[in-house]
Chain A
């Protein structure tokens, strides 16, 4: 399991290699989610704030719970913080499992829980100088609730 919080960009290929190595010869699938800063409407940058004393513990708890639930062989969550330009990668989630179904569902669960159970807040910075905090969407809570059996 690898859980990281960082300012700088991550190397997707190196992370996929690492989780596949962690999973070993029993692995049959690695699934991935890569979140990007979506542009448009004059957006210049996205700033990610978090709760430093809490964030890593929450990410670790999500990785552990999902690993147990889907019997993962390897698992990675890397979330960036700070100010990121349009198109920049924000978050990487990887899940290695024996079969594709478990790896795909594990990735979807992790990203849903990241959106609703970890202390991050996004602020949009626009070309005209406006700064707007992103509001949580009810759809995110509903997506996360799907996985709470």
Chain B
């Protein structure tokens, strides 16, 4: 069977809230996007669902490129979720 899993990474305050820095997730649709993956992960993690419910701003990257909710996600991708950046 074809491997449809992706690697999911969490950074900074989002990682602390989830108590998790990475996991695997198996895509359930060929039309997956950043938004559908985040929705599915929120089903899996109470802390993520609570963060979204509380209005936390979550940004994403797909394969190390900043992404939008509509960015497509395919098998083998690395998808990262994190709060707005604060470097410099």
Please, how many angstroms separate the alpha-carbon atoms of A79 and B85 in the complex? Answer: 14
Q: Is A127 interfacial (CB 8 A cutoff)?
A: no
Q: Is A136 interfacial (CB 8 A cutoff)?
A: yes
Are A91 and B82 neighbours in the complex by a CB distance under 8 Å?
Answer: no
Closest to B87 in A: A120
Chain A residues with Cβ under 8 A from B84's Cβ? 135-136
Residue interface mask B11-34, A partner, CB < 8 A = 1: 111001000000000000000000
Q: Is A44 interfacial (CB 8 A cutoff)?
A: no
Q: Is A111 interfacial (CB 8 A cutoff)?
A: yes
Most chain A CB inside 10 Å of its own CB: which residue of B64, B84, B85:
B85
Residue interface mask A11-23, B partner, CB < 8 A = 1: 0000000000000
Cβ 8 A contact of B88, one of A54, A57, A91, A133: A91
- 8 A Cβ contacts from A105-142 to B: 111-112, 114-123, 133-136, 140
Q: Is B77 interfacial (CB 8 A cutoff)?
A: no
Are A117 and B64 neighbours in the complex by a CB distance under 8 Å?
Answer: no
Interface size class of B (residues with CB under 8 A): 10 to 19
What is the number of residues of chain A that contact chain B, defined by CB distance less than 8 Å? 28
Q: Taking A119-B11, A119-B61, A121-B11 as contacts, is the C-beta distance between A51 and B87 under 8 angstroms?
A: no
Q: Is A69 interfacial (CB 8 A cutoff)?
A: no
Residue interface mask A85-117, B partner, CB < 8 A = 1: 000001100000000000000000001101111
Please, how many angstroms separate the alpha-carbon atoms of A140 and B87 in the complex? Answer: 10
Chain B residues with Cβ under 8 A from A3's Cβ? none
**Sample of 28 A–B contacts (CB below 8 Å):** A48-B87, A51-B11, A51-B61, A51-B80, A57-B64, A90-B88, A114-B88, A115-B87, A117-B85, A118-B85, A119-B11, A119-B85, A119-B87, A120-B85, A120-B87, A120-B88, A121-B11, A121-B13, A121-B82, A122-B87, A123-B12, A133-B12, A133-B16, A134-B86, A135-B83, A135-B84, A136-B85, A140-B86
Beyond the given A115-B86, A119-B61, A133-B83, please list 16 additional residue pairs across the A-B interface where CB-CB is below 8 A: A49-B11, A49-B12, A51-B11, A54-B65, A79-B88, A115-B87, A116-B85, A118-B87, A118-B88, A120-B86, A120-B88, A121-B13, A121-B82, A122-B86, A122-B87, A135-B86
